[in-house]
Amino acid sequence: MIAEVQEWLIEWYRREARDLPWRRTHDPYHILVSEVMLQQTQVERVIPYYERFLARFPTIESLAQASPAEVIRLWGGLGYNRRAVYLWRAARAVMEQYGGSIPKDRRELQRLPGIGRYTAGAVLCFGFGEPVAFWDTNIARVLTRIFLGPNARPTSQELDQLAERVLPVDRAYEWNQALMELGARVCLARRPRCGDCPVHELCRSVGTIGKPRRRSEQFTGSRRYYRGRIIEALRGRWGGMRLDELGWAVREDYTPAHRAWLERLVTDLAREGLVEAAEERGEYVVRLPGGGETGDSCGEWDERAAGGVKVGPHSA
DNA sequence: AACGCGGGGTA
DNA sequence: TACCCAGCGTT
C-alpha cells in the first residue's frame, strides 16, 4: 500500500509538476529564501519576489552585508515583514557562525531565526538532498487523508511518525515535492478534487469533504493593518519620519490624541527589529533599521554602529 | 496551547 | 464581502 502510493504519486509528480524556480536549484541558500517566502504565502505570489530577491542578493554573503532596511524594502507587498528581518539575521548568523555555509544539520538550522521544524526539513531535503521527513499544512492534510482517513486528527508527534514511516528514502526530494504539489492543486482543504487524484483508489478519505474554515477577522483597521501601513510608509522615506508625520501617513483621521496608540505600535515594531526609533535634534524619528544616511547606499551596515534599538522620550 | 503576524487574488 | 494561503516566535 505505501509502496504503491509512493510509486503513483511520484509518477504523477514527474508528469504534472509545475516548473517553479526553486525546483531548478539545489543551492541551500536559494532554497532557504524560497521556503521563508513561502511561509503562509501562495506560490504564485512568491515567484516574482524570489526572482527579484536573488537578483539583488545572489549569495548569502551579499544578503548579510545589506542593511535590514533594504531587505525590508525588497520584501514590500509580500507580507509578514518579520520574515525579512529573520532572513537577514539568519544570513548574518551563517556568516559569523558557519563561515557562510548553511549548516547541514536539523538542530543547527532550527537555531537560526525564522527557521522552524518545517523550513529546516525543507532546506535539508530540497537543498542538501537529505532523505528527511517533514510536514507543513499541505503534507499533513494529504498524509492524513491518504493513510489515516477523514476523521483522523493526528497530533504533531503522530504526524512526525507518519511522515517518517511513509518516506521513500531513495526518492525523498520528489516525494516531499509531490505531497505538496498534490495538496496545492488536487487534495485541496475545502474541496478535494478526488477525480484528478493519482492515488484516489488507495486513499482512505476518497470522496469526503474538508471541514469549514474558521472566519478570518477583519483586516482593515486592525493592528496588523496599521503595522503594515507603518512599514509601507517608511519604505519610501530614507530619512525617516517624525511620529506625527507617520501618523498622518497611516490614517486619515490621525490627531495627536492618537499618539500613544502610535507609539505603542512603533515601540513594538522596534522591539521586533522592523523599525528604528531614535531621538534626533529633539525630534522623535522613526525609520527602517539601518536605512538612514549612515548606512544603506555605502558599504556594509554595522549593527553596533547603529546602536541597536533606540526608543526616544515619551514626552512631547 | 493560544495568539499575533500581511497582503493580494479570487468567488 | 469573505475566504484562501509551502509557519514561526512569543507567552
A63-116 residue pLDDT tens: 999 999 999 999 999 999 999 999 999 999 999 999 999 999 999 999 999 999
pLDDT over 70 at A295, yes or no: no
- pLDDT tens-digit profile of A228-245? 999 999 999 999 999 999
C1' of B6 to CA of A3 (Å): 40
The pLDDT, as a whole number, for residue A309 is 37
* Fold observed for domain A223-306: Arc Repressor Mutant, subunit A (1.10.10)
Rounded to whole angstroms, the Cα distance separating A225 from A10 reads 41
Q: What is the CATH number of domain A2-196?
A: 1.10.340.30
- As a whole-number percent, the residues of chain A with pLDDT over 70 amount to 91
Pairing outcome for strands A283-287 and A241-242: antiparallel
Judged against a pLDDT cut of 50, whether residue A145 lies above it is answered with yes
Measured distance CA(A6)–CA(A168) in Å, rounded: 7
Q: Which nucleotides of B are covered by protein (CB under 7 A)?
A: 1, 4-9
CA atom of A38 to C1′ atom of C4, Å: 14
Overall average pLDDT of the A271-292 stretch = 90
Q: What band does A218 get if pLDDT is binned at 50, 70 and 90?
A: confident
Is the confidence at residue A304, as pLDDT, over 80? Answer: no
What's the Å distance between residue A42 CA and nucleotide C2 C1'?
A: 18
Q: Provide the grid cell at A116.
A: 522552524
Q: Average pLDDT in the A25-42 region?
A: 97
CA-closest candidate to residue A142, choices A181, A114, A110: A181
Residue A21: the pLDDT is 97
pLDDT for residue A313: 32
Pick the catalytic residue from A4, A11, A16, A35: A35
CB closer than 7 A to strand C: which residues?
A 20, 22-23, 34-35, 38-43, 80, 86, 110, 112-120, 122, 136-138, 177, 180-181, 183-184, 188-190, 212-213, 215-216, 218, 220
pLDDT for the residue numbered A291: 76
Domain boundaries, chain A: 2-196, 223-306
Contact flag, residue A225 CB and nucleic strand B, below 7 A: yes
Q: Is the pLDDT of residue A301 over 70?
A: no
Minimum-distance nucleotide, CA of A217 to C1': C2
Q: Is the pLDDT of residue A13 over 50?
A: yes
- Work out the mean pLDDT of chain A and round it to a whole number: 91
Active site residue A35: yes
Query: What is the strand order of the sheet A241-242 is part of?
Result: A241-242, A283-287, A276-280
CA of A254 to C1' of B6 (A): 22
| pLDDT of residue A312 exceeding 60 | no
